[in-house]
Amino acid sequence: MVQYMNNSGFNQWNQMNTNNKKPSRFSGFLWWLFLFLFAWWIIGLWLKPQNTELKTISPVVIEPSNVVTRTLNKEDISFNVQGLRISKVILNKHKQNAKSDDNISLLSDENNFIEVGFVSSDIQTPNINTNWDMKSGEMHWDNSNTHFARKISVDGYVINVIDTIKNKTNHEISIAPYAQITQSANNKTSGVVETGGVVYANSDLNYINWNKLNKKSFAYSSVNAFLGFAEQYWETIASVDAKDQTISLKKSGDLYFAQTNAAPIKIAPKSESTVSTYIFAGPRQSDVLNTASKNIPGINKTIDYGWFWFFAAPMLWMINWLYALVGNYGVAIILMTLILRLLMWPLTRKSYVSTMAMQKMQPELQRVQKLYANDKARLQMEMMKIYQTHRTSPMSGCLPMLIQIPIFFALYKALLISVPMRSAHFLWISDLSAMDPYFILPILMGATMWLQQYLQSPKQNSNTNDVMASTQRAMKWMPIIFTVMFAWMPAGLVLYWTVSNLFGILQMYIIKKTIK
């Protein structure tokens, strides 16, 4: 991105508007630094929907269950079942980190669980201490007027809880299903990836970050919905297949609570009704969530691609596709960088040609600047004539930079949300989604940025008051600034930038050799 700043037409445009005033030595540098930091800040802002705040927060008391715990082991996940509650979900295919043999565990802290049950004013319903009878892999509980049967199955990372309620009485009964997720309040809000409470209500996805949940509670009403909690790479979601739900999210003590209560279901005498509840506990990964969306519509929207989703989603897909070919995410990022730069070749070539034209125009531009120093209107007219003669424009050199900005932020987001990238190895790097522990890549990136800047910058002339010359002197600090900034960024992003710089150097060499 920075390589397009030195000799872009923006400096010429800026010079036109400053007339013959002596510019500050760091004016151009400060302008571009401000532009970059402002873009970084504005991309991180998210428009939040207005939610209904609960006026009071009643303390929640978690009662322990006395029911015997049994464990279900499946291919993708393992979890505990204790009556109405499901807890300690182990993701069998995902490790804590690249150096650990322990798997990721969700809802593993004390008083962390998902509870699926019923409430009714007509009949007695199972509670957390109800002992169910196991028959042929199903849970059964019977009272004098109602029979409950619960079947738990697993499809990938989705736990299916199917409840069948049989009314044995001679009158109609009403029963309301509910689902509740309880999670420890030990998470911090991420400034880059949406984390915290997640609610999908009325076909609208709502994020409530941890900081907001710490301050107040939220309530929603929806015909059908799902709710839960999302971390950077994992999420726990519950969806009750019932209409007219009231959803609430709040914090009480050291716990977060997400609960949905559906409208009562009426069951005729001597008949039965089935209620399905779907629980997702797994990675925020596109292919996984697309599969889960068959049972939980809308859950595939919980991946936070950011504002530049139209770049981030295809880039993440391309990286995964290239990984399937080469078997290494570092090599996949390199190949993706080369593909993107090849696609941008015509535009970059035009920018370089414009830059060379700008350099040749300098004597003419300086002449008219001195000649019409006191006539700004005439100065602008004469400078535009020069641009037309050389068939270029003041802003033509900025086009590649403008495209690089969304690509940069999209790739940054893609690397931070990519579950496979979190433990991807490349040379000395054990995790491409984390910083380079030895700062080798940031130093290489800074060195290539300096070399590209050096090769592209024209020789300084004697006019030290010239805006362009002043900007070029200030821009010499940019490789150092960017090296420091990128030192703590994901190694995959720094790898992309370094390869892009190297490609730019080669491209500039080829263009200079082929254009007279």
Q: Tokens for 417? A: 């949300």
The whole-angstrom separation of Cα 27 and Cα 30 is: 5
Q: For residue 30, what pLDDT band results from cuts at 50, 70 and 90?
A: low
> Is the same domain home to 235 and 261?
yes
**DSSP H/E element including 480:** helix 478-486
> Which carries the bigger pLDDT value, residue 350 or residue 156?
156
Residue 13 in any domain: the answer is: yes
Same domain, 316 and 300: no
Q: How far apart are CA 235 and CA 228, in angstroms?
A: 7
Residue 283 and residue 410 in one domain:
no
Same domain assignment for residues 342 and 405 = yes
- pLDDT tens for residues 195-227? 899 999 988 999 998 989 988 999 999 888 899
Task: Decide if 17 contacts 9 (C-beta within 8 A).
Answer: no
- Answer with the residue of higher pLDDT: 146 or 433: 146
For 418, the domain range is 2-41+310-352+398-514
Residues 6+ away with beta carbon under 8 Å from 100: none
pTM for this model (two decimals) = 0.76
CATH classification at residue 237: 2.70.98.90
Average pLDDT of the chain, as a whole number: 81
Whether residues 283 and 336 share a domain: the answer is no
Tokens matching residue 51: 């939610």
What are the b/e assignments for 237-258, b being 16+ CB within 10 Å?
A: bbbbebeebebbbbbbeebbbb
What's the pLDDT tens digit per position in 92-104? 998 887 677 789 9
Could you tell me if 185 and 233 lie in one domain?
yes
Look at residue 510 and tell me if it is in a domain.
Answer: yes
Same domain, 287 and 336: no
Structural domain contains residue 431: yes
Per-residue pLDDT tens over the stretch 266-295:
999 999 999 999 999 999 999 999 999 999
3-state secondary structure at position 336? helix
Q: Are 257 and 345 part of one and the same domain?
A: no
Split into its structural domains, the chain has a count of: 2
Average pLDDT over residues 169-190: 86
Whether residue 334 sits in one domain with residue 257: no
Nearest to 393 by CA among 343, 364, 345, 353: 353
Name the β-bridge partners of 155. 158
The residue ranking higher by pLDDT, 24 or 450, is 450
3-state class percentages of the chain: helix first, strand second, coil last, to nearest 5: 40, 25, 35
Tell me, yes or no, whether 196 and 322 share the same domain: no
| Residue 240 and residue 337 in one domain | no
What amino acid occupies position 337? T
Does one domain contain both 335 and 265?
no
List the single range of 3-17, 196-210, 311-325, 425-439 with lowest mean pLDDT: 3-17
Which secondary structure element, helix H or strand E, spans residue 115, and what is its range?
A: strand 113-119
Q: Is residue 239 part of a domain?
A: yes
Where a domain ends, among 285, 304, 323? 304
